[in-house]
Chain A
Amino acid sequence: MSKLNLSRRGLLKAGAATGVALGAPLHFVKGAYAQDQMSCNMPTGSDVVFGFNVPQSGPYADEGADELRAYQMAVEILNGEGDASAISSFSGASNLKGNGVLGKKVTYVTGDTQTKSDAARASAQKMIEDGGAIMITGGSSSGVAIAVQSLCQERGVIFMAALTHSNDTTGKDKKRYGFRHFFNAYMSGEALGSVLAEEYGKERTAYHLTADYTWGWTQEESIKNATEKQGWKTAQAVRTPLGAGDFSQYITPVLNSGADVLILNHYGKDMVNSLTQAVQFGLREKQVNGKDFQVVVPLFSELMAQGAGSAIKGILGTANWDWKLDNAGTKAFTQAFGKKYGQPPSQAAQTAFAQTILYADACERAGTFYAPEVIAALEGYEHDGLGNGPTLYRADDHQCFKDVLVVQGKDDPKDKFDLLEIRKIVARDQVTYDPSIFGGDLGPADAKQC
């Protein structure tokens, strides 16, 4: 059998989970339940609605599709219809009995963020007002995550932010109703800093190319601080416009700057393009100051590694999670996901999966869907077995603390899922920081009638 690799991308396979509650009834019932323990969209029937707000169009549509696969899988497990082995080693597994959440069957609504703040907020509003969602999760960029998080705070709906790496999400823009499972730029810097010094020595001069918007700036700052702590110098930090496409005019000055490391603070298509072009310009074959020139990409994703092709080989970066991790939670999840969809999960999928499970677990532990109590159950929650090792949802800033992976592009990948190899697992306490360094204010956890 020979086949063209043009296969239709795996869509959501219809699960047994039934419908979307088109929330009309909720509007009428609300008044009747106006008691102290009501928060926005508390379920009154036999169903509870989750909102999965992911990019379905735009540059991150593939990440969004993978997130949706994971959400779907989590819902089936919660409803007792899926392969529950995926959460077999989760420390809170006993709370989840496969009868939905608190006995209510989980249904969901989906929406398209388009990776634009306005569209993402519009979609989240639809979920809250029309879909009756009690929790919203998903996302693909920090701008979107922060915008949706602040909406959720206003409306009193819990937001489990998925792909967002900016320090601001749980720093200056943190919100009581928002929780982040993903790591952030600061943690990338701390994890990468020591490995870079081990690999490339302490006498290095770095040149930064930085995407000219908030996320790029926070990452540049974090990596700069971390590398300078190791004794590196920074030659220059140049801002590049988002979506520049051709980065040649920013790459050519690098060689004559005296720098011997190029750090690309780009993500998505920008990262694919700038890395491909930097390698094409022969930077990695150059010798500067008697040392081999190196390129570093602080934030990696598997899908972007696929886009960059062979340019990714040997490049160091960090990741939140990888399916090749050697722990029971990862193995169980990867096996279940692979059996269902025929491919290993990306870190986006793992984040999405863990967040849905953790939210359900928090509701079970709180014994209610009442948002302030669910928040209290998530705050300071220490758990294990979802693949990231021992994990803490810190109460002070709602940032998740767990091990951070330093990964490297593989020289000889077996297939397109095998592009990155784990170089080092940086322990959680090495990347833990004082929550006050980024400022911000979580705000109150008062329940809202939406």
Chain B
Amino acid sequence: MFGNMTGKDWLLFIGFTIVVLTAPIWLTPLGAAYPALMQKFCIFAIFAIGFNILFGLTGYLSFGHAAFLGVGSYAGVWMFKLFSMNVVISTVFALICSGLFALVIGYISLRRSGIYFSILTLAFAQMMYNVAYSVLTPITNGETGLQLSLSDPRHLDRALGVSESIGLPRTSFFGIDISGGGMPGFYFCAVLLIICFFLSIRIFRSPFGMMLRAIKSNQMRMKYTGFNPKPYLLAAFVISGLYAGLAGALMVATDPLAGAERMQWTASGEVVLMTILGGVGTLVGPVIGATLIKYFENIFSAFNENALNVTFSFLPADIRELIVELASLFVGEGWFLTLGLVFMIVVIFLPGGIMEGVGRIKALFSRKKTQDDAAQGSVVAAE
């Protein structure tokens, strides 16, 4: 099922691996080198890569992918509560659950195409969100979110005599703490991101990937040539559902609380935005889009006038006041405005997302060797 990867693909993969693993170093000057945010970068990158396998290859725009992320999260926390704090068990179970949900919802939704498909997926996700928030509270703990408690049975851990700390236990990967804000949590997510990225290259280059692209370009012709596109579509849908489920499992592995909000339509919309912003159908685009949006959400929103004053303290007082006044429109409580403007600017000027911008810069300097970092350069080469 997997096709051969070219030398360029390997180069891309190796470059990507290096960039991800060295993130704690190069993110430091950007103020983003703390574990919680780097974990979010990885998790949402996985989510977006998976979404891109469906949307980028087949053109089917799902507006309900956050539902699978939510299912993965709930499944993960229940495993922590019932059996063991080991993240392997929770992740496997989350994958099974989200895969099953994706199979059922995908089977029904894929009976329609275009916007009708989008609305079907949206409807399923909204139903799941609404029910999880209210009626299903015994399972999901509703508004408060499903969390660990001291009285959880944790049958497997107890049976194996895993030593208990005072207070709530942390999730662990065979003894290494994953939750609790340490670097192991980041590396756990990072390794899974790299694996997911590798699989996505393999899918893109495989006959299966070609088939999905063919569906996107002309489904009619596929049908006339005797191919039934349904099984391929369903497979792509389930694969991307699994990616979402994995992202959900990692969210609770690094921070064991599952809330219903992560299934809301805005969360589904967010992954659409990440993918388009980065570049639909490109390998690295979704990763960049996810990172950028999470960076905005966490860094821009945390600026306040105080911090701005410090940033611009080198300026004379009058100019500083003016600049701080202006800048505070776009950071802190105004960070949403910046996000909206960025969407508009990117789509208006770079229809193919940020990856197109990278491509254009590359073309501009194609003769001379630029200082573009290895990963970005090779991305364009690959696509």
Residue ranges of A at the interface with B (Cβ–Cβ < 8 Å): 11-15, 17-20, 22-24, 56-57, 61, 64-65, 68, 108-112, 116-119, 121-123, 125-126, 128-131, 141-143, 146-147, 150-151, 153-155, 168, 173, 212-215, 239, 241-242, 441, 443-444, 446, 450
Cα distance, A141 to B137, chains bound together (Å): 17
Cα distance, A56 to B137, chains bound together (Å): 28
Chain A residues with CB under 8 A of B173: none
Chain B residues with CB under 8 A of A130: 31, 34, 36-37
Interface: B206 (CB within 8 A): no
Interface: B130 (CB within 8 A): yes
A-B residue pairs in contact (CB < 8 Å), sample of 19: A18-B310, A23-B34, A57-B333, A110-B304, A110-B332, A112-B335, A116-B259, A116-B261, A118-B262, A122-B36, A122-B40, A123-B298, A125-B37, A125-B181, A129-B34, A129-B181, A150-B257, A212-B135, A241-B130
Partner of B298, one of A116, A122, A155: A122
Q: Is the CB of A57 within 8 A of B335?
A: yes
Partner of B306, one of A19, A23, A446: A19
Chain A residues with CB under 8 A of B336: 57
Q: Is the CB of A20 within 8 A of B310?
A: yes
Known contacts: A150-B257, A213-B133, A443-B150. The answer to whether A173 contacts B302 by CB under 8 A is: no
Q: Is the CB of B144 within 8 A of A168?
A: yes
Interface: B15 (CB within 8 A): no
Q: Mark B137-165, 1 if CB is under 8 A from A, else 0.
A: 10001111101011100000000000000
Known contacts: A14-B309, A56-B333, A122-B40. The answer to whether A446 contacts B145 by CB under 8 A is: no
Q: Mark out the residues of chain B between 165 and 208 whose CB falls within 8 Å of any chain A CB in the assembled complex.
A: 166-168, 170, 179-181
Cα distance, A108 to B303, chains bound together (Å): 11
Interface: B219 (CB within 8 A): no
Q: How large is the interface on B (under 10, 10 to 19, 20 to 34, 35 or more residues)?
A: 35 or more
Q: How far is the CB of A11 from chain B (nearest CB, A)?
A: 6
Chain A residues with CB under 8 A of B306: 12, 14-15, 17-20, 108
Cα distance, A212 to B150, chains bound together (Å): 27
Cα distance, A40 to B165, chains bound together (Å): 17
Q: Mark out the residues of chain B between 267 and 319 whose CB falls within 8 Å of any chain A CB in the assembled complex.
A: 297-298, 301-302, 304-307, 309-310
Q: Is the CB of A126 within 8 A of B34?
A: yes
Q: Is the CB of A213 within 8 A of B143?
A: yes
Partner of A153, one of B28, B34, B168: B168
Cα distance, A122 to B181, chains bound together (Å): 11
Interface: B229 (CB within 8 A): no
Residue ranges of B at the interface with A (Cβ–Cβ < 8 Å): 28, 31, 34-37, 40, 130, 133-135, 137, 141-145, 147, 149-151, 166-168, 170, 179-181, 251, 255, 257, 259, 261-262, 297-298, 301-302, 304-307, 309-310, 321, 324, 328, 332-333, 335-336
Known contacts: A125-B181, A142-B144. The answer to whether A112 contacts B259 by CB under 8 A is: no
Chain B residues with CB under 8 A of A22: 31
Chain B residues with CB under 8 A of A65: 333
Chain B residues with CB under 8 A of A15: 306
Closest to A128 in B: B181
Q: Is the CB of A125 within 8 A of B36?
A: yes
Most buried by A among B134, B142, B255: B134
List the 7 closest pairs (A to B, CB-CB), nearest first: A125-B36, A56-B333, A129-B34, A213-B143, A112-B301, A130-B34, A143-B143
Chain B residues with CB under 8 A of A24: 28
Q: Is the CB of A126 within 8 A of B305?
A: no
Chain A residues with CB under 8 A of B144: 117, 142-143, 146-147, 168, 173, 214
